Amino acid sequence: MRKTSWRLGLGVIVLAWSGWMLFSDTSSGTMDMQKKAKAGGFPAENCMYCHVEKMPKKGAVTNNDRGKWLVAEKEKRSAKEVDVAWLKDYPGDKK
């Protein structure tokens, strides 16, 4: 009985983790986004244009003010992913 409950518990944990990884909404940038930002005339020289880390790791991303604003715009516009063209509307660059 003890082995069965241990296996059941482990199975539930693995299932929950798998579901979380599969269905969690990621909001991390990609190299493609950086290339599009550069092509759009934005000074996105590295990941720190929108993130705090120089090379963000998947699942451990910290956004700076610009990145937080982009994520908020994504939610506001109900978009699947961030569109770097929205950066033209970023209020922080107009100071």
Domain boundaries, the chain: 26-94
Structure pTM? Answer: 0.65
Higher pLDDT, 65 or 1: 65
pLDDT band (50, 70, 90) for residue 86: very high
Contact between 49 and 43 under an 8 Å Cβ cutoff? The reply is yes
The overall average pLDDT reported for the chain is: 81
